[in-house]
Structure 1
Amino acid sequence: MTAGARGPSFRYFRAPSALPGFGLAFGYTLVYLALIVLIPMAGLALKAASLGIAGIIDIITEARTLAALRTSFGVSLAAAGFASLFGLAIAWVLTRYHFPGRRLIDAMVDLPFALPTAVAGIALGAIYAPNGWVGAQLAPFGIKVAFTPLGIFVALVFVSLPFAVRTVQPLIEEIDRELEEASATLGAGRLQTVWRVMLPPLVPAVLTGLALGFARAVGEYGSVIFIAGNLPYVSEIAPLLIVIKLEEFDYAGATAIALIMLVIAFSTLLVINLIQAWARRRFGHV
């Protein structure tokens, strides 16, 4: 291949930038990814490979493992979806309306970022327990939150909500109010304006919040174990099962469950990112 043939692809690979040091920055990026991400993931796969394909399949297909994986990924996806919709509403209110205490509420959105997960779990467990402030009000209706999958859902919504709010809030701030006025001038109703003018540019950001919230929820441990009850086949999550395997010195079994969690999580995030890319092409770059 001639130098001229290599030229265009090389220029595309090394796009012009105002900041110098492309080689150093690119090399640092590769080294960082290798040391922090790729090498640990490769070590995890190698450790799990010591069981052999048959051994990994046996662990993954155990009823307890399948129940824990189903609880972790099913509840995490539901919580991330709920947090995305609820977070969109919160971001809209905080951006478009002015009311007393708005700054305080805006700051409280970031509280799950700073609060230790164990503290969050203890607080949620105390509130939603049968004799807690909220749990006692729900008990007469036969609704039990603590020590059930519903408690896991509440905890995961709590930790996922900031991602949903913060990813969509800047875009709402950038939407020109003149678009709403133009839509109304052209005869569109409020519902049409929201559905056709306001929401389409926000779809990629909502999906980003969904992906980030799901990634956080799948790996959540501290806030869940205090409210879940950790009952096998009912409210036991996969990260807890990994810890149990480690306490039993079953390191290969723990890595096998961790490996399947990695594969499922990566596949789910890949699908979400593909949908997000489609949304960007469909509704325009935002």
Structure 2
Amino acid sequence: MPELPEVETVRRGLAPYLTGARIAAVALNRADLRFAFPADLATALVGETVTGVGRRAKYLLIALSSGETVLSHLGMTGAYRFAFGGPAEPTRHHRVPGGHDHMVWSLVHPDHGAFDLIYSDTRRFGFIDLLSDPAENPYLAGLGPEPLSNAFDAPYLAARLAGRKAPIKTALLDQRIIAGLGNIYVCEVLYRAHILPTVPAGDLVAGDGRPKPPLEDLVAAIRAVLAEAIAAGGSTLRDFRAADGERGYFQHSFTVYDREGEPCLTPGCRGTIARIVQSGRSSFFCPVCQKSAE
């Protein structure tokens, strides 16, 4: 499942070709993905101009001149590609071109001419929705702040974690607290901040409600890891590619994720990376240099 850096990488690849393009035609090659396509989606899109391509958490948001917004979740194998203009490769290479093309937009751009935007999804876990008011949509309404925004800082996180007994790993995956973090990057940021994934979230908050030093380190690690991952084009494990067909490279910078049994990379640490399962997901950590709240 793509996380914030991967979705942001796709957004950055789509935006130059979509923004300003007029939608001349829309073809839906099946009735549904994970959920049914919105009723009259094709009719609603034809004739509109794309005014911007945004992202909220793990969702792509394509704004239209009508004031409506197309919300797209890539699921496990969703991919966009351009035909007859723009990048020719899919945004994720899990698919075989043409084999699972479920939605095709025919577009005309003032700079790039006529081309098609094709959405394919081998396992069909992605979905598309058409929003009149994104702020009121149930997918977006309850999300926490973006971790790279000014709204996210250590005092905010301390206020949300105070009194929580759930493990910090579980709390960071809660999209109502922070939007866009997933399993890979939570493992990485906890390792960088030297915090065990099993630490009760509330233990990182002082009695007066202020963030303890490890929580300050955690916020800094979240910002740094996400920024580095975006700069590297995301992480390619099995199927992700950016909008220009390039693989992400951040997986080559993993310090802890999927490194069970390998030596810890923290200078001076002689620990070995361990793996446990939390809420059905693998947590990778160093039991020596990652510690409880202090």
Which band: TM-score by shorter chain?
A: under 0.3
More strand by share: 2
More helix by share: 1
Query: Could you tell me the TM-score, scaled by structure 2's length?
Result: 0.21
Higher radius of gyration, 1 or 2: 1
Query: Could you tell me the TM-score, scaled by structure 1's length?
Result: 0.21
